[in-house]
C-alpha cells in the first residue's frame, strides 16, 4: 500500500548522518539532536516484513509520546518535541549497551526457559511450581545485551558489572528507574483494564545525566493482558487474551514462518494489511484511552519533510 512509509531518505538542515533500524530511522542533527521517524515497517522474528502497515508508525510514536510525558517525573527522557505524528525530536545520548527488560509475569521467553527446566533467568530465581502467565511475587529485571547485529542475549547484573559494560553506580540507577517506570506503567494500564506483563527500556547518557531513550510501553516493546477474565483463564489453563503484536507472530507461525533459513514470508494481502492497521489503532485506543485521530497520509513523506524542516529551522 503506497500510503505506508517503509523507507525515508531525507536531508534535513544540519543533518550529519542517518541510521536505518528495523522499524525506526534516526537522523543526527549537528551531533546534538536526533530526529526519530517511526516508519510503518513491521518486524517479527528479527525479520522486517515486506509490506508496511498504514498508521502503525503514528500509533507507536504517539503511544511513546504519551508515556514519556507521563513518566518524566521519574527519569528525564530524550524527547524534546513531536513535530509530526510519526516523528520525535530529542537529545542525542550515548546509549548504554544493555536493554533493561522487566517481567511481571511468567510469559514468553521467560516461560520458554522455565518450561525447559531452567529456574534462573539473568541471575534471577524463578520458583518451582509456577504455570504459564502466572504473576511473579516481584517483577524480575532480566537485561539483555544490545546487539548491533544478530540477536540480543540474556545477561545478568553480575556479568554486566564484571565485563564493565555499565559502571555499577549507573547500573543501580538503571535498575531503580526500570522498576519505577514499570510500576507507573502498571498503574496506568490498570486504569484501562489492562495488565502490563513485561516490557523493555533503553537508557542513554548526555552530559553525565541518564535519560530514558527510544520508545516506552508501546505494543512493539511491551506485552499487555486484559484484566477481565485473567484469573478465570489462569484457573482453566487457558491462553491469556493479549494486547501486543503477538497476533502478527501467530499469523506467521500459522503460515509456517518463524524467520528460519529457507522459510518464506507468507503473502501479505491488502485485506490482511488493513486488518493489521485496524488492530494497531485498536491497541492505541485501548492503551491510551483516547480516540485515534488519523493523520493525513496522502503524501506522508512530504508531510514529514515539511514538518521536521520547519521545526528544525525554528528551534534548533
Is residue 290 included in any domain, yes or no? Answer: yes
| CA–CA dist 110, 118 (Å, integer) | 9
Domain count, the chain: 2
Q: Are residues 289 and 231 in the same domain?
A: no
The residues, any chain, with a CB within 8 Å of residue 92's CB and separated by 6 or more, are 28, 31, 32, 33, 34, 206
Q: Are residues 224 and 161 in the same domain?
A: yes
What count of other Cβ atoms lies within 10 Å of the Cβ of residue 112? 11
CATH code assigned at 27: 3.30.200.20
Q: Are residues 100 and 151 in the same domain?
A: yes
State the cell numbers at 305.
Answer: 519533510
Q: Are residues 85 and 123 in the same domain?
A: no
Q: Are residues 118 and 177 in the same domain?
A: yes
Q: Are residues 80 and 119 in the same domain?
A: no
Using the predicted structure, report yes or no on whether residue 3 has a pLDDT greater than 90. no
Q: Are residues 238 and 103 in the same domain?
A: yes
Tens digit of pLDDT for each residue in 278-294? 999 999 999 999 999 99
> Residue 76's closest CA among 219, 162, 177?
177
Look at 17-31, 105-119, 142-156, 241-255 and tell me which has the smallest mean pLDDT: 142-156
pLDDT at 2: 54
pLDDT at 150: 60
Q: Are residues 216 and 282 in the same domain?
A: no
Dmax of the chain from CA atoms? 59
Q: Are residues 281 and 195 in the same domain?
A: no
DSSP single-letter state for residue 154: B
pLDDT at 244: 81
Is residue 40 included in any domain, yes or no? Answer: yes
Q: Are residues 168 and 127 in the same domain?
A: yes
Q: What's the pTM value of the predicted model, to 2 decimals?
A: 0.92
Tens digit of pLDDT for each residue in 186-206? 999 999 999 999 999 999 999
191, 154 contact by CB (below 8 A)? no
Residue ranges making up the domain that contains 302? 15-92+277-315
Q: Are residues 107 and 126 in the same domain?
A: yes
Q: How are the residues of the chain apportioned to helix, strand and coil, as percentages rounded to the nearest 5?
A: 35, 25, 40
Q: Are residues 85 and 125 in the same domain?
A: no
Report the sign of the C-alpha dihedral through residues 140, 76, 280, 152, in that order: negative
Amino acid at each position: 500500500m503506497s500510503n505506508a512509509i517503509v523507507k525515508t531518505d531525507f536531508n534535513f538542515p544540519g543533518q550529519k548522518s542517518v541510521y536505518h533500524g528495523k522499524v525506526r530511522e534516526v537522523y543526527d542533527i549537528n551531533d546534538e539532536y536526533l530526529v526519530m521517524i517511526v516508519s510503518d515497517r513491521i518486524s517479527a522474528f528479527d525479520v522486517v516484513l515486506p509490506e508496511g502497515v498504514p498508521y502503525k508508525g503514528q500509533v507507536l510514536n504517539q503511544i511513546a509520546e504519551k508515556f514519556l510525558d507521563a513518566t518524566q517525573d521519574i527519569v528525564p527522557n530524550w524527547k524534546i518535541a513531536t513535530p509530526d505524528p510519526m516523528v520525535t525530536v530529542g537529545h542525542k545520548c550515548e546509549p548504554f549497551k544493555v536493554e533493561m527488560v522487566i517481567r511481571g509475569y511468567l510469559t514468553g521467553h521467560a516461560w520458554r526457559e522455565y518450561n525447559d527446566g531452567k529456574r534462573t533467568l539473568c541471575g534471577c530465581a524463578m520458583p518451582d511450581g509456577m504455570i504459564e502467565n502466572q504473576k511473579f511475587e516481584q517483577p524480575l529485571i532480566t537485561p539483555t545485551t544490545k546487539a548491533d547485529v544478530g540477536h540480543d542475549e540474556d545477561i545478568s547484573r553480575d556479568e554486566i558489572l564484571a565485563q564493565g559494560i555499565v559502571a555499577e553506580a549507573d547500573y543501580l540507577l538503571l535498575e531503580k528507574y526500570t522498576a519505577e517506570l514499570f510500576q507507573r506503567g502498571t498503574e496506568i494500564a490498570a486504569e484501562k483494564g489492562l495488565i502490563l506483563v513485561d516490557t523493555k527500556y533503553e537508557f542513554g547518557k548526555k552530559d553525565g545525566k541518564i535519560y530514558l531513550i527510544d520508545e516506552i510501553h508501546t505494543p512493539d516493546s511491551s506485552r499487555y493482558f486484559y484484566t477481565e477474565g485473567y484469573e478465570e483463564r489462569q484457573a482453566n489453563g487457558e491462553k491469556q487474551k493479549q494486547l501486543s503484536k503477538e497476533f502478527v507472530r501467530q499469523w506467521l507461525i500459522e503460515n509456517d514462518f518463524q524467520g528460519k533459513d529457507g522459510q518464506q514470508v507468507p503473502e501479505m494481502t491488502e485485506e490482511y494489511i488493513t486488518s493489521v492497521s485496524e488492530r494497531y489503532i485498536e491497541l492505541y485506543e485501548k492503551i491510551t484511552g483516547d480516540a485515534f485521530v488519523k493523520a493525513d497520509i496522502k503524501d506522508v513523506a512530504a508531510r514529514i519533510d515539511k514538518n521536521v524542516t520547519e521545526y528544525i529551522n525554528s528551534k534548533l
